[in-house]
Structure 1
Amino acid sequence: MSSINERTPWRGQISAAGILIGCIGCVIITASSVYTALKMGALPWPTIFTSITALVLLRALGHTSLNEANVTQIIMSAGSMVAGGLAFTIPGIWMLGSGHDVSWIEMLGVALAGTLLGLVCTALIRRRFVEESDLEYPIGTAAAETLMASRAGGATGKKLFGSMAAAGLWCALRDLAGVIPTMLCALPIPGVAFGIYNSPMLLSVGFLVGGAAVAFWLAGGFIANLGIIVGGSAAGLWDVTVAQGIVSSLGMGLMMGSGLGVVVHDILPKAANLSSVSLTPGANGTRAQGGALALFVAAAALLICLILGIAPLHCIIVVVLTFVTTIMSAQSVGQTGIDPMEIFGLIVLLIIAALGESNQVKLFFVAGVVAVACGLAGDVMSDFKTGHILGTSPRAMWIGQAIGALLGAVVSVAVMAALLTAYGPESFGPGKLFVSAQASVVATMVSGIPSVPAFLVGLGAGTVLYCLGIPSMMLGLGVYLPFYMTISATLGACVKWAYDRIAAHRDNAANARSATCAPANTAASTGNLRSATGDNTSADNAPEITHEESGIIIASGVLGGESIVGVIIALMSVAGGLMG
């Protein structure tokens, strides 16, 4: 499919109408993402919502191309990840009460530097992580299924949109009406967030990922929560607070080690062929793209040095580590649909602090740049997966991402500055008007890694395990993420296991019946052969989707239902906040 993508004319997939719709949507989605991230400590993927919105609006104007709709939704959604990178890091400065008055120029420098580096890194690793790997990218796959189902209609459309409506209703009852609890089966275990998160989206992620990946995710959760926290504390090796520091340090080390493993095992051996990841075919296109990417890196470095005041040597390290962490982000989103962008920013922050940078405000700027780049990388790579399925031109998608991300950087900074001016820095933090949960974690750990030995063990283990073919990123996510998220995703994988076996049993039974009822006459056999070879092209005789495809469609609808409701609730919250 990669060769098809490269030959697809990209100019026909970007229209003036699509850019206008995308930019208007980008402003709305980005503003709501800032508010949601600060207020609720969450950032639902807007991709399914923007895919449907773009398709509906373009069709109202007479545009029916799925590729055009895909590029339009990319413009609409790109800014949300930039908003997340800022909202998950910068408010930590105000929580610490450093007295530094962060200007909108500094916030814009963080947003633009991270955006430029994110666009560069994803252009370089696109082919390796989308076309050459077997990563699922559940969000991108779900978006492609949504767009294709809109054209397929019939049973396929009913399955997708029916499951989408059911999940959306469930989430509305949970988040708006409050008649369904958010957490189920919660147990009061000191230091462990044990329970089942009542999230259709997380269940569908477990279903779409399934298999060994979720098993390692669960293994990491058991090691961290039942092993280190519960077991170690019960044995008297440490108290719960120390155990939590060991867990967070080990999880960060495993994820960082996994990123280094990708570089050592996959990137460096192919470094001479990095130009093959070009978004533009041909030698001239490769040179032009290489020049543009080099300018992006230079611009980002200047912003980091001149606007943010980071020392040149530290700036170089930040740029290099941003490349490593965007690889980690691409792998994490590809496997789980989860992008812990603030964790990647925190990892680089701690490394720069260990190298001698003591100014806490500058350390937050470093975390913000990396978090924006990693957030955008997760969004870009997921969108590239959607385009790879649909046949959208990589160049058209990348241009759409650049438009949406750069616009989103400006909008997110404007909203952050407006909220800061209206409510003051004292409104950010636990128990305050804007909880800013992720930024609170960064603020807590800005003084250093809680357990350096655990971090180093994780770093080495993550690198070695990845080189041995073991998904150390999934193991690290299981160690770091709250246990209730791990349990919920595991339940989704269990549903997938049961579904596959029931479907296999039905297929075997159907094949047995078909074998006993096979037509004996030659005419019938010839007709079957024509149908099998595709000579019969009637829509009425189109092949039915398989049980596996049906499961993916339903899971994609469930995932999309919660994401759409999440975006709508965010928009309502923004409107309510402005009116209040």
Structure 2
Amino acid sequence: MTSPVSPSPQQLRIHPEPVPPTEPPSEKEDPERYWLEHVYQGGARQLTVRAIIAGMLIGAVMCLSNLYVILKTGWSLGVTLTACILAFATFGMLRGVGLIRKDFTTLENNAMGSVASAAGYMTGGGNMAAVPALLMLTGTLPPSGWLVAWFAAVSALGVFAAIPIKRQLINIEQLPFPTGTATAETLQALHGHDERSRGKARYLGIAGLVGATVAVWRDAKGAWLAWNLPAKLSLPFMIGGKPAGAWTLSLDLSLLLIGAGALVSFKTGWSMLLGALLTYGVLAPEMVSRGVIPEVTYKAINAWTLWTGASLLVASGLLSFAFQWRSVAKSFQALAGLFGKKTEENKDPLADVECPPSWFPLGFLVLGPVVVGLMAYLFQIPVWAGVIALPLSVVMGVIASRVTGETDTTPTKALGPVTQLLYGGLLPGNLPANIMSANATGGVGLHSADLLTDLKSGWLLGANPRQQFFAQLFGVVAGAAVVVPAFNLLVPSADVLGTEEFPAPSSLVWAGVSKMLMSGVESLPVSARIGALCGLSLGVALVLLERWAPKAAKPFIPSASGLGLSIVIPGASSISFFIGAAIAEVLRRKKPKLAEAAVLPVSSGFIAGESLMGIAIAMLKAFGVMPK
């Protein structure tokens, strides 16, 4: 899954405090039996009531934060590490004031992280790309209760889809799952006596307060606030006779965007700056002067540049995914193995610990008809087309899980358009089918990969995988219940989307692909077709250069995802991303110890503090408590 952890840590075998370090198993030794005898902590507290409650609450908060961020930037950011640090700090404070007696253990925090991760990532898997796209194209959405049921059913299906491949990917092959490994390392340090790691909780809290303060100072209205911090400051030059800010080239006074920038690579950051300057400083003014873009507003510019950015993102995503064909081939081998007859001379040593294989078909037998029924009732997708989505979602889940295990990136941006193309051929002209079928397969893929990432942490720490499975289901319920009403509050109508406040770039891409599949490429203006062709060519070229260019030249090749994103979000957002990425890069080079201790928690604090306060202010304005 997309993760802010950088650089990815080495895969390490981690043991809880009570277990002394042991030698790793030899090549001939059964890794599962070794794990059961030397690592597994069956008697330790894990999925306790307080871990479930804390995970659901923290996960709901992280879900709100991610919703705000994805509408701003198109990206869902890491949840598990931030949630574990928050839980550690919260329970430490409660223990300090005497409200709880027992320590919050490493494995309790790990189980809590599974709950929080499932809830926090409810914005991913195409959920908050598909639903806004559907709203933009049709103007309506199903009632909130039905949407909650939809998200919960699809996400739970992804949890069950992870069962048959868990042991192969984690126990046997021991794929890295870098975010899962980093989470295990962080938990071990937090619950040990590593003061530097404990300091991350303090960094997170202070940064959260600063982010919330900035949001209040900038967005709140009332007699008690003498003046507001301006939202943006235009860059000090003119373009085409207008201030740079009119072309969205401004300094956005948002710590959220700077924090998000610090969590991406410096290459992505400078690629976004380059893309913003070329798009809004060169290309857009030229198109306005020719009359192709009718006016100098973000919405008018974006309506034209969208096709270039979408083509670049889709082409680069699909080609990058194609180069991972070995992982895909292994995924299909694993998929075939699900239905093969297995013979075992000895009793399965993990039969009482792992989720029984029978849970996979039972889960699909129960949830499959629910998902197909919801597809038919809510989105007018024929039952036969909904049934096709079930085996397709299993395939997507297996592929997404393996790619995530090897690269730490869940390929939703590649798998979503694949499903859209498939259903564009099966049901031409059916916009809801095109969008929401991709939402179904993407949601299954994301939550399958998310559970396996959490199970990787559990494998390293000796946690009970069945308890983590149930933890994930609790998180799914919490996330679905929170994300729908919060979305309705932030996005009361389609007019809010595609604006400077909420650019929603991933939704614009999904909507653009569906619209093109429905009406055909010939329906686009000639200039937009040329832009789409240029974006496609550039996406392919950048991926090929990244793969085959000399090693010395690779740092100077722009990131395809960063460049593509900068074309569909306001220039001010890309500038802020660059500032955050540059600050983090300077720290990593000049003060590596400080960077390791502070970049992740401070950035996460900025994001969480500003986004959550932004949602709180929006609620106060919506209910008339605060003037708009």
TM-score, normalising length from structure 2?
A: 0.63
Deviation (angstroms), 1:358: 1.9
Aligned to 1:81: 121
Aligned to 1:361: 432
Task: Please list every run of 5 or more consecutive structure 2 residues that lacks an aligned counterpart in the other structure.
Answer: 1-12, 15-30, 219-227, 294-300, 339-346, 522-528
Q: Distance in 1 between matches of 2:415 and 2:351?
A: 35
**Structure 1, residues 261-316: CA drift from partner, whole Å, max 9, x if none?**
32x1223146545779xxx9757479964432344445554344332123435753
Question: Residue 604 of structure 2: SS of its match in structure 1?
Answer: helix
Q: 2:605 aligns with which of 541, 558, 561?
A: 561
Question: Residue 152 of structure 1: SS of its match in structure 2?
Answer: coil
Q: 1:401 aligns with which of 442, 451, 472?
A: 472
Q: 1:50 aligns with which of 58, 67, 83?
A: 83
Deviation (angstroms), 1:352: 1.9
Q: 2:198 aligns with which of 141, 153, 157?
A: 157
Aligned to 1:261: 323
**Structure 1, residues 350-396: CA drift from partner, whole Å, max 9, x if none?**
44224433222223322432453455457546645655665545554
Deviation (angstroms), 1:477: 1.5
Q: 2:392 aligns with which of 305, 320, 345?
A: 320
Q: Distance in 1 between matches of 2:73 and 2:465?
A: 34
Question: Residue 90 of structure 1: SS of its match in structure 2?
Answer: helix
Identity of aligned residues (%): 17
**Structure 1, residues 88-128: CA drift from partner, whole Å, max 9, x if none?**
43244444446675574365235412441365259737975
Question: Counterpart of 1:109 in structure 2: which amino acid?
Answer: W
Aligned to 1:543: none
Deviation (angstroms), 1:62: 0.9
Aligned to 2:312: 250
Question: Counterpart of 1:446 in structure 2: which amino acid?
Answer: S
What does residue range 70-469 of structure 1 map to in structure 2 within 5 Å? 70-83=110-123, 85-97=126-138, 104-105=145-146, 108-117=149-158, 120-121=161-162, 124=165, 136-137=178-179, 141=182, 145=186, 148-149=189-190, 151-152=192-193, 154-158=195-199, 160-178=200-218, 210=265, 214-215=266-267, 218=270, 222=274, 226=278, 230=282, 243-262=305-324, 264-269=325-330, 271-272=332-333, 282=349, 284=351, 289-299=356-366, 301-309=368-376, 310-311=381-382, 312=384, 315-316=387-388, 319-320=391-392, 323-324=395-396, 345=416, 348-373=419-444, 376=447, 379-380=450-451, 383-384=454-455, 387=458, 392-410=463-481, 412=483, 415=485, 429=497, 439=507, 442-448=510-516
Mapped contact 2:498–2:508 kept (Cα < 8 A): yes
Aligned to 1:22: 55
Q: How many residues are paired up?
A: 523
Q: 1:208 to 1:10 in 2, by over 3 A?
A: farther
Mapped contact 2:61–2:120 kept (Cα < 8 A): no
Q: Distance in 2 between matches of 1:376 and 1:36?
A: 19
Q: 1:86 to 1:307 in 2, by over 3 A?
A: same
What does residue range 455-534 of structure 1 map to in structure 2 within 5 Å? 475-482=559-566, 494-495=582-583, 498-499=586-587, 501-502=589-590
**Structure 1, residues 333-360: CA drift from partner, whole Å, max 9, x if none?**
99798x8968864563344224433222
Deviation (angstroms), 1:407: 4.3
Q: Distance in 2 between matches of 1:412 and 1:21?
A: 17
Q: 1:428 to 1:290 in 2, by over 3 A?
A: farther
Q: 1:365 to 1:156 in 2, by over 3 A?
A: closer
Tell me which moved more, 48-57 or 226-235. Answer: 226-235
Tell me which moved more, 90-99 or 456-465. Answer: 456-465
Mapped contact 2:396–2:441 kept (Cα < 8 A): no
Q: Distance in 2 between matches of 1:124 and 1:330?
A: 9
Mapped contact 2:158–2:446 kept (Cα < 8 A): no
Alignment partner of 1:8 is 2:40: yes
**Structure 1, residues 452-507: CA drift from partner, whole Å, max 9, x if none?**
7568757877987798799999944123212666665555555565445546xxxx
Mapped contact 1:259–1:463 kept (Cα < 8 A): no
Q: Distance in 2 between matches of 1:245 and 1:191?
A: 21
Question: Residue 64 of structure 1: SS of its match in structure 2?
Answer: coil
Question: Counterpart of 2:598 in structure 1: which amino acid?
Answer: I
Deviation (angstroms), 1:197: 6.1
Q: 1:69 aligns with which of 106, 109, 126?
A: 109
Question: Counterpart of 1:268 in structure 2: which amino acid?
Answer: A
Q: 1:455 to 1:424 in 2, by over 3 A?
A: closer
Mapped contact 1:387–1:394 kept (Cα < 8 A): yes
Mapped contact 1:261–1:463 kept (Cα < 8 A): no
Q: 1:135 to 1:424 in 2, by over 3 A?
A: closer
Q: 1:577 to 1:267 in 2, by over 3 A?
A: same
Q: 1:442 to 1:273 in 2, by over 3 A?
A: closer
Question: Counterpart of 2:328 in structure 1: which amino acid?
Answer: I
Deviation (angstroms), 1:194: 5.3
Deviation (angstroms), 1:50: 3.2
Q: 1:322 to 1:553 in 2, by over 3 A?
A: farther
Q: Distance in 2 between matches of 1:29 and 1:281?
A: 38
Mapped contact 1:258–1:328 kept (Cα < 8 A): no
Q: Distance in 2 between matches of 1:333 and 1:229?
A: 40
Mapped contact 1:216–1:475 kept (Cα < 8 A): yes
Q: Distance in 2 between matches of 1:389 and 1:202?
A: 33
Cα RMSD, aligned residues only: 5.5
Q: 1:82 to 1:353 in 2, by over 3 A?
A: same
Question: Residue 257 of structure 1: SS of its match in structure 2?
Answer: helix
**Structure 1, residues 164-201: CA drift from partner, whole Å, max 9, x if none?**
34533442343221276666775867998656666667
